[in-house]
Structure 1
Amino acid sequence: MPLLSIDQAPFQNSFADALRADPLRNLQPRQVPGYHYSPVTPTAVPDPRLLAWADEVGELLGLSRPPERGPAVDVLGGNLVTPSMKPFAARYGGHQFGSWAGQLGDGRALALGELPGTDGRSWEIQLKGAGPTPYSRRADGRAVLRSSVREFLCSEAMHHLGVPTTRALSLVATGDEVVRDMFYNGNARPEPGAVVARVAPSFVRFGNFQILAAHGEIEQLRELADFVIRGYYPELGAPAPEVYLRWFQEISRRTAVMVAHWMTVGFVHGVMNTDNMSILGLTIDYGPYGWLEPYDPDWTPNTTDFATHRYAFGQQPRVALWNLMMLAQALGPLVPDVQQLRPALDEYVAVFNLTRQQLTRRKLGLTAEQPDDAALLEALPAALAATQVDMTIFFRQLAQAVPALLAPGADEAGTLEPVLTAAAYSELGLDLQPLREWLTGYAARLRQEPAAPAEIRAGMLGANPKYVLRNYLAQQAIEAAEQGDLSVLHRLQQVLRRPFDEQPEHEELAARRPAWAASKPGCATLSCSS
């Protein structure tokens, strides 16, 4: 079928058609009890201009790449609503940093509707930064270019790493300026505005159910659960108490798989509030995220989290379980006894541990299980933390070293020392001996593998990316884009589409974090400000 321009595409509106709409049509901040969403209209901007486009997402949606300006970009920037669209902002609540925050909702995002994908599924398109909604509270509903570049790049980078995630279709400059205080320290300044069109089968979150349960809106709770089950979990059967139990178990399983992927690529979400948890087990809401560079389980990129490190890298599995417990409480009215949901939480733990183990075994090239494998795998995180090597570079260099390591009469120390040297942050002055000792045991274990060295190496290279979206790379793309140079953004976008390939012409994008980036805002520290 020929590709369509988005302004000509026939939108569907299953969420808006099936669920309860706020009868008011104004954008004034307010509580919206009793309803699932508020109909809204995006607020026009002066000069929408296309900055970046994800060709693969466009093709998935049957959409053609638009020119820099025109009706399609008017849609993507919020200046044009076509007749088939029913734009809305969803109502939800959530626990933020462990405390109940009450009503939150889509304060700077709104859904245009859904388009049928070439994969047979429907995909919701949501504009982030398209103006105020009833859930904007004291904010303006806008987004700045720096956060929009980060969301656009990371959504697609995570997909190509194989991590369950929402997607991003486009990045559009708005032609206006948005005032933001990046670190909430009294230094507000105007920044260029932007809108990201992000894409997912659904953007329903844990918090959509929490707000309904918190207000005792049990019929609305059931309606939303039934909508999600029928639309996105049809294999579970028609909604019923026993199906709600199986559904929560599947949510728990998907969440476990997602977080296991985060942990094995070194991704730190940064703000795992319950309103930032997808009911489909997708990574959602790319705000103050980061990648581990020095391997530090206690690292968080989020300045708001510096006091407690609640959302630090090493805490993510535990926090996801806590968030599932909060969702279980919200779903309690749908089942005879809320304790019936507890086995799903045990399932989360089991699936997370198994998935992380399987993914780590792939990273290490271990296929045939041996009795001592569990101890070897369990010792690895502590060895990495003690030495704080660059996680991405360490695993990639280890894969490259396998043929030499397994060669007859190999110089084990001479082969492995360059792996450590390449991955170590020498300025940290840390002792690499704990990881040397672990590598000695790993080398002995690897020699028990039945596969040929070249086969092991190929499998490891396919599991250990060379390129990830390091914060300093994203910041370089942002700074260039703010000066009107999109080449850095476009280059990074293309390289991250093939994170496991060597791409020698882009070698410098796989480099260890430079010393200057260790403390630079946007590289080492971020906030929720966007």
Structure 2
Amino acid sequence: MHLNVDDRFNRQLPADPIETPSRRQVSGAAFSFVTPRVPSDPKVLHVATDVASMIGLSQDDVQSDSFRRVFSGAELLPGTRPYAMCYGGHQFGQWAGQLGDGRAINLAEVLENGQHFTLQLKGAGETPYSRTADGLAVLRSSVREHLCSEAMHHLGVPTTRSLCLLTTGDSVVRDMMYDGNARPEPGAVVCRVAPSFLRFGNFQILAAQGDVATLQALADYTIEHYFPEIATTSPMRYSELFAIVCQRTADMILHWQRVGFVHGVMNTDNMSIHGETIDYGPYGWLEGFQPDWTPNTTDRSHRRYRFGDQPQIALWNLVQLANALFPLVGEADPLQASVEQFYEQFNEKLTSMQASKIGLDDVVDGDEELVSQLDDVLQLTETDMTIFFRSLANVPKSLDVEQDVEGGLEVIRDAFYAPEEVKDGIRNQWHRWFRSYLNRIRQSRLSDEERRDRMNRVNPKYVLRNYMAQLAIEAAESGDFSLIGDLHSLLLLPYDEQPSQQRWFAKRPDWARHKVGCSMLSCSS
């Protein structure tokens, strides 16, 4: 197996001088050298072949024993020195100090077709940042990470990728819901792939330590390698860096809102400097359209990271990054301008995105009110977000506004979890919205077919609902790994009809409503 190794981070930035995994506070360094733990009996469960090809691996490479050993942590690529990154972060709004890669190890960096990728093992053992944990991962969380990374990519959402999923042959003890019921679970490792795994927290920890020299070195490194559009000699380069990060973060969050994705743990250490979704823990897709829903049981009381507040939290996190970069910029005005621009541009793009979801080819006066009214009626009774928007594309504009408005309700009826509730006042409110909607789409130059095609390109038919992932996890824990591959194949084409996969275009089943792993997820998920 051959990869074009091109390590930069661990050669160009200062390293922690101590080379043991002993837990410690690290200063004056961007990372610590570590060695992955050798698993007892690693087995490859699934490989995303397009990711393998992207980083320069052939089918023969993927099937080799060397692949199994390298991507389980059992063997190092020649000439590489794995490392764990040092960073801090705000967790649930509170500064948590040093955090770092507690169960992630950067294996190597590779260059392929002019693109640079970092390969990171998650669950490959302890690091100086593991605190009281063991640095390992379990099968259930690894299945969720592997499938979701790839599902998000094929939905068109900026994200880290996942090359492969392996079991280690070792048991890992975990208390899944933090309720005192720890039990052994199968251990696993995922290989994540991204341009880099730099987070807001990488800059925050250095600013908090008052280490301006290393902060500047990290910022200069980041600009040189990942933001070439910025002139490295410009005195404004750090504020320009922040402005671009704001734009990319806004675009990422916009995609989250478009497909109904809820991250669950938007701490600043879980925010990528590249504007890519990173760290798939207690995530979820909206089942019923509930803007205040979060999949994270840790956040159930305050709902800080609920779906409807993700744009505001992203903005809050960007302010923390601005604070970290301030020592380099030296003035607040350019940073504040980027924050304000984030807010203005996001809201403008949000209106356009929402209009596209309901099939409007442009935005005119009154469209924001139409969207706002839709948000309201969607919450009158539990209504599946994915099924609703996908079905709405089938509403013909030939329906009579006064006589046939009930026909609109019939088209979307399968999205209701309790269709018997759609009566009296609820029905009347839906009728009023459909009258407004039909009047609006009749003004459009688009035919029904053109509108349906456009809507079906922004409204996925298939998303990785938590119950689907849970079915794959339970099967895998019983030794059947086929559903992992089946779901991966399904989610390669989430906007296609795929008639043979129609069973996955369905509302969450009743058994999953309150099941652990489906509706209840912790940060260990």
Relative to 1, partners in 2 of residues 1:396 and 1:410: Cα closer, same or farther, differing over 3 Å?
farther
Could you list the per-position Cα deviations for residues 49-77 of structure 1 after superposition, in whole angstroms to 9, with x for gaps in the alignment? 10011011111111124566711111110
Could you list the per-position Cα deviations for residues 93-132 of structure 1 after superposition, in whole angstroms to 9, with x for gaps in the alignment? 00000000000000000111211233x2101110000000
Residue from 378, 386, 389 that aligns with 1:384: 378
User: Structure 1: how far apart are the matches of 2:106 and 2:156?
Assistant: 25
- Structure-2 residue corresponding to 1:138: 132
SS of alignment partner, residue 50 of structure 1? strand
Bigger shift: 428-437 or 352-361?
428-437
- Structure-2 residue corresponding to 1:124: 118
Relative to 1, partners in 2 of residues 1:342 and 1:15: Cα closer, same or farther, differing over 3 Å?
same
Bigger shift: 435-444 or 247-256?
435-444
- Structure-1 residue corresponding to 2:149: 155
**Are 2:190 and 1:202 aligned?**
no
User: Structure 2: how far apart are the matches of 1:456 and 1:103?
Assistant: 50
Relative to 1, partners in 2 of residues 1:97 and 1:368: Cα closer, same or farther, differing over 3 Å?
closer
Report the residue type matching 1:383 in the other structure. V
Relative to 1, partners in 2 of residues 1:409 and 1:247: Cα closer, same or farther, differing over 3 Å?
closer
Residues 7-26 of structure 1: matches in 2 within 5 Å?
8-26=2-20
User: Structure 1: how far apart are the matches of 2:364 and 2:508?
Assistant: 36
Report the residue type matching 1:190 in the other structure. P
User: Structure 2: how far apart are the matches of 1:231 and 1:69?
Assistant: 32
**Are 2:437 and 1:442 aligned?**
yes
Shift of 1:336: 2.2
Residues 170-319 of structure 1: matches in 2 within 5 Å?
170-319=164-313
Report the residue type matching 1:359 in the other structure. M
Report the residue type matching 1:424 in the other structure. F
Relative to 1, partners in 2 of residues 1:374 and 1:19: Cα closer, same or farther, differing over 3 Å?
same
Shift of 1:457: 1.0
Report the residue type matching 1:314 in the other structure. G
Question: TM-score under structure 2 normalisation?
Answer: 0.96
Shift of 1:370: 2.5
User: Structure 1: how far apart are the matches of 2:387 and 2:411?
Assistant: 8
Bigger shift: 434-443 or 127-136?
434-443
Report the residue type matching 2:69 in the other structure. D
**Are 2:460 and 1:465 aligned?**
yes
Shift of 1:429: 4.5
- Mapped contact 1:420–1:432 kept (Cα < 8 A): no
Report the residue type matching 1:181 in the other structure. D
- Structure-2 residue corresponding to 1:494: 489
Shift of 1:301: 0.5
Could you list the per-position Cα deviations for residues 246-271 of structure 1 after superposition, in whole angstroms to 9, with x for gaps in the alignment? 11111111111111111111000000
- Mapped contact 1:10–1:84 kept (Cα < 8 A): no
User: Structure 2: how far apart are the matches of 1:364 and 1:257?
Assistant: 19
Relative to 1, partners in 2 of residues 1:241 and 1:438: Cα closer, same or farther, differing over 3 Å?
farther
- Mapped contact 1:230–1:239 kept (Cα < 8 A): no
Residues 388-467 of structure 1: matches in 2 within 5 Å?
388-401=382-395, 404-406=396-398, 412-426=404-418, 429=421, 431=426, 433-467=428-462
Could you list the per-position Cα deviations for residues 448-469 of structure 1 after superposition, in whole angstroms to 9, with x for gaps in the alignment? 1112221111111111110000
User: Structure 2: how far apart are the matches of 1:194 and 1:211?
Assistant: 29
- Mapped contact 2:386–2:459 kept (Cα < 8 A): yes
SS of alignment partner, residue 229 of structure 2? helix
User: Structure 1: how far apart are the matches of 2:520 and 2:399?
Assistant: 43
- Mapped contact 1:41–1:88 kept (Cα < 8 A): yes
User: Structure 2: how far apart are the matches of 1:392 and 1:349?
Assistant: 26
Relative to 1, partners in 2 of residues 1:242 and 1:515: Cα closer, same or farther, differing over 3 Å?
same
- Mapped contact 2:159–2:278 kept (Cα < 8 A): yes
Relative to 1, partners in 2 of residues 1:23 and 1:45: Cα closer, same or farther, differing over 3 Å?
same
Report the residue type matching 1:229 in the other structure. I
Structure 1: give runs of 5+ residues left out of the alignment.
none
User: Structure 2: how far apart are the matches of 1:223 and 1:428?
Assistant: 62
- Structure-1 residue corresponding to 2:76: 81
Shift of 1:407: 6.1
Structure 2: give runs of 5+ residues left out of the alignment.
none
Equivalent pairs, count: 521
Report the residue type matching 2:247 in the other structure. R
**Are 2:372 and 1:375 aligned?**
no
Relative to 1, partners in 2 of residues 1:209 and 1:117: Cα closer, same or farther, differing over 3 Å?
same
Relative to 1, partners in 2 of residues 1:70 and 1:336: Cα closer, same or farther, differing over 3 Å?
same
Shift of 1:306: 1.0
- Mapped contact 1:35–1:220 kept (Cα < 8 A): yes
User: Structure 1: how far apart are the matches of 2:138 and 2:64?
Assistant: 19
CA RMSD of aligned residues (A): 1.7
SS of alignment partner, residue 405 of structure 2? helix
Question: TM-score under structure 1 normalisation?
Answer: 0.95
Bigger shift: 104-113 or 67-76?
67-76
Shift of 1:437: 2.5
**Are 2:335 and 1:341 aligned?**
yes
- Structure-1 residue corresponding to 2:326: 332
